[in-house]
Structure 1
Amino acid sequence: MRRSFFFIIFQTQVGVGVLSLPSSLYAGAGTDGWITLLVTGVAIQLIIFILYFLSNRFPSLTLFEYGTKIIGKYAAFIVSLLYILFAISTAVIVLELFETTIKTWILFRTPMLVILLLLTVSGTYLAVGRIKVMGRFYQFVSILIVPLVIMSAYTLKDADIRYIMPIGQNGIGTILKATQQGIVSMLGFEIVLFIYPFVQTKGKTALKSLTLANVAVTLLYSFLTFTTYVFFSPAQLEMIPEPLVYMLKGVSFVIVDRVDLIFLSIWIVSVMTSYVSYLYIAGRGIQHLTKRKKTTGPILVAAFTALILAMFSHDRYTVEMLSGYHAKASYFFALGFPLVLFLMSLLFKKKRGVAMNKKLYQCLILLSMLILLTSCWDQELLKESKLIYGAGFDYENEDEIRTTFVVRNLGVPVSQGGVYSNRIISIAGPSPRATRIEMDRIISKQVTASKNQLLLLGGRSSKTQR
């Protein structure tokens, strides 16, 4: 399973976030976002070393199994349960983003449940098979990455390198800060904690496969992001939420008119592989906790749970909120918990052959958990947001409301010779919330009304309660 191991890691990392990654990185690091991805690859490699050394200490066990040997039965049960919930929540987010993208670009009028079932049924069918079957499938579909790269490279004929000049203009601090978006989009390497026992050739060979997979994903994401940055101007990148699809939408050939549909078809396969991997993690965890012999039943339970949750939390604001919480939690599951387990396993090795009393054991657990209790902070920079300076509401007809937003384009500060400009967006929808969601689809950056200075209500809307 040496080759399959590489492709499982690679396909799990390449997932749903590739479409919006250039836009999110541009919001954080400007046109230096592609450099951020290279730095992110180095940071992920350091995390991979920790995951590898931890897994290599228990080469025949998964994290669900050796957790008991390190932190005890009850603490390991809690950690295993948290990993199961994390895997299911990841599957939910993948389903939601998959449905949103497919409905936006391809199947406009197809019911939500049908689209969700397309991924759920096909993904579950693959996940209930053996890990060897998954590995062979991942290896087979990885060839699709080649036409994806070729299609993106073809757009370079219309590229303008001046769009990203001067390189590094946003500063090393901004580039490093934006790595958090890159790490979240490149998650998937943590699956090594659950499939390492099934790797036939362990040790340095396995570490080599892990490293090559991370290098391949880093180069792929950096290349795709780079092509969008030299294809679109900075002003265009501020308005485009999914630059890769828009870039390929303008490409056509004599035989193929919609290249973007071919791209999305390849993207669907990558989304399914990520979804299958997290279903497998959740299924293995449920199997371990319930002491079942096969993973088929637990995987079906995880898939059904993810499907139900995806159906109930599906508007854009809810998805973004859940994605934000999931991104913050992912640091604990990809780095926090494995680091604690690794340090404790090293400490226990020093105590090998010596009976450890109960109080000392509990103290060590508490001290190790302090790593996860560090304080946190958050901020929203104005340059990463689009500010609503004015809003107006009035009835379009009996069933729709017309909402008009005045959005401030900050651009270069006035102190540096820049000029502020306003963009007026008018959208009709069944409710103010629906029009706000639609505006988020149009504007790439995060929209905030915290600086709103004007609110206008039409005659009917000011008199009518709805």
Structure 2
Amino acid sequence: MSQTISLTNGQIFFLMIQTQVGFGILTLPNTLQSTSKGDGWMSVLLAGAVIQLFLVMIWLLMRRFPRFIYSEITTFLLGKTVGTFINTIMYLYFILAATFILLQFASIIKEHLLLSTPFWVIGLLMMLTCTYLAISDIRIIARFFALISVLILFKFGISFFSFLLPVDLHHILPLGSSGVKQIALGGKDCLLTVLGFELILFLYPLASKKGTTFLKVITWANVFVTGLTAYFVILCIMIFSQPALEEIKYPVIYFLRPLQFQMIDRLDLLFLSIWIVPLGISIVTYIYMGSKILPFFRGKSYKLVLMNSTLIFVLFTIAKKDLDSQKLYSSFVEYLSYAVVFAIPCILLLISYLFKKSGKEVSC
């Protein structure tokens, strides 16, 4: 790859964290109450360790094919027919994952901010915005992601106001009281919260510095996201009691609701407004990856971006009508993610070693 289309370490770092920090964190403290309860932060750390393992495995795979895009690796290792089938499954996953995020985004905005706005209008406005960005060059997307990363500082700053509320450290004590099995089950729920790291499958060929340098960048991004997630989980556990967390669907939003100041009211709505940005960014990422996974659209990615956005919006309008269908849709995306994000890259890495297939290695 020439340097004119390469991405810097900083751009890759911000692409990673902005893609992973999405909707899931808002509901994670509530989700963990069914498994690890007060040890939920341990489940987050466990999930971060598991993700790091898969990051290393994906890095090993991409390092063997430093100049191949991911769709070329699948066809090279599995053959054209099987490889195209796998690419199609991954394309389906990207579309469904983006639709699921759009559904959750529209639901939370409809419930907390735009109470009278039609559901489909909220989804349409978000899709128009995401399409406008996804149709751009990856360097433009990366620069935008890096620019709006300053909002993370605002999230931290606003969350510090929560320490004005009564907090109880005993809610996370004694440590490990839930048991190893429940903490592990909670870790499984956390994995789905920070999905998006599969973006590195498409970033490695564009990285200006590959090899161990690339691994260090994605490792620090994973450490940052894991730390951020654990911070909000611990914060919610200390503020809310266990019965309260079981009832509150969005505890990361609600812990700011009791705070009122003379010049600022409803701090939770300000916090939510800032969190809208990473929600949209996750959709942009999946639309972009969907436009790169099907090789027969190569050179016409803007057309596939438009097709992806249209398909996502159509699925969004269909799934929103019934709550049960949304839950079924969520379960389908969850199980599909296990295959696409975790199983397929590992199988490809194993095949590449067993049959000793690789591309030309590029040194750091």
The normalised TM-score by structure 2 is 0.93
Distance 2:224 2:188 in 1: 19
User: Contact 2:134 / 2:288 at 8 angstroms: preserved in 1?
Assistant: yes
Cα 1:247/1:309, change in 2 over 3 Å: same
2:355 to 348, 356, 374: 348
Match of 2:57 in 1: 50
Match of 1:285 in 2: 293
Match of 2:362 in 1: none
Match of 1:304 in 2: 310
Q: Deviations over 1:2-32 (max 9, x none)?
A: 2111111111111111111110012211111
Shift of 1:351: 10
1:176 to 184, 206, 209: 184
Q: Secondary structure at the match of 2:155?
A: helix
User: Contact 2:133 / 2:141 at 8 angstroms: preserved in 1?
Assistant: yes
Match of 1:247 in 2: 255
Q: Deviations over 1:199-249 (max 9, x none)?
A: 111111110111011000000000001100000111211211111111111
Residue 75 (str. 1) matches residue 91 (str. 2): no
1:271 to 273, 276, 279: 279
Distance 1:27 1:220 in 2: 21
Shift of 1:289: 2.6
Residue 225 (str. 1) matches residue 233 (str. 2): yes
Shift of 1:160: 1.1
Which runs of no fewer than 5 residues in structure 2 stay unpaired? 1-6, 360-364
User: Contact 1:77 / 1:289 at 8 angstroms: preserved in 2?
Assistant: no
Cα 1:192/1:40, change in 2 over 3 Å: same
User: Contact 1:279 / 1:302 at 8 angstroms: preserved in 2?
Assistant: yes
Which runs of no fewer than 5 residues in structure 1 stay unpaired? 353-466
Equivalent positions of 1:353-364 (< 5 A) are none
Which AA in structure 2 matches 1:305? L
Please tell me whether Structure 1 or Structure 2 has the larger radius of gyration of its CA atoms: 1
Which AA in structure 2 matches 1:59? P
Residue 201 (str. 1) matches residue 201 (str. 2): no
Match of 2:4 in 1: none
Distance 1:351 1:122 in 2: 39
Residue 235 (str. 1) matches residue 276 (str. 2): no
Q: Deviations over 1:309-347 (max 9, x none)?
A: 000111332222211121121111111000111111112
User: Contact 2:65 / 2:358 at 8 angstroms: preserved in 1?
Assistant: no
Distance 2:116 2:357 in 1: 62
Equivalent positions of 1:149-168 (< 5 A) are 149-157=156-164, 158-168=166-176
**How many corresponding residue pairs?**
350
Which AA in structure 2 matches 1:166? P
1:36 to 40, 43, 47: 43
Match of 1:397 in 2: none
Distance 1:64 1:104 in 2: 39
User: Contact 1:160 / 1:230 at 8 angstroms: preserved in 2?
Assistant: yes
Shift of 1:154: 2.1
Cα 1:133/1:41, change in 2 over 3 Å: same
1:210 to 193, 196, 218: 218
Distance 1:69 1:316 in 2: 42
User: Contact 1:15 / 1:270 at 8 angstroms: preserved in 2?
Assistant: yes
2:105 to 90, 98, 112: 98
Which AA in structure 1 matches 2:133? L
User: Contact 1:190 / 1:334 at 8 angstroms: preserved in 2?
Assistant: yes
More strand by share: 1
Which AA in structure 1 matches 2:32? L
Identity %: 34
Distance 2:312 2:168 in 1: 43
Cα 1:351/1:261, change in 2 over 3 Å: closer
User: Contact 1:26 / 1:32 at 8 angstroms: preserved in 2?
Assistant: no
More helix by share: 2
Shift of 1:123: 0.5
Distance 1:150 1:266 in 2: 12
Match of 1:425 in 2: none
Distance 2:304 2:61 in 1: 26
Q: Secondary structure at the match of 1:19?
A: helix
Equivalent positions of 1:349-428 (< 5 A) are 349=356
Q: Deviations over 1:418-450 (max 9, x none)?
A: xxxxxxxxxxxxxxxxxxxxxxxxxxxxxxxxx
The normalised TM-score by structure 1 is 0.73
Q: Deviations over 1:167-201 (max 9, x none)?
A: 21111121012111000011000111112111111
Match of 2:123 in 1: 116
Distance 2:155 2:342 in 1: 31
Match of 2:14 in 1: 7
Shift of 1:132: 0.6
Match of 2:93 in 1: 86
Q: Secondary structure at the match of 2:200?
A: helix
Residue 187 (str. 1) matches residue 220 (str. 2): no
User: Contact 1:94 / 1:271 at 8 angstroms: preserved in 2?
Assistant: yes
Match of 1:367 in 2: none
Runs of 4+ residues over 3 Å off in structure 1: none
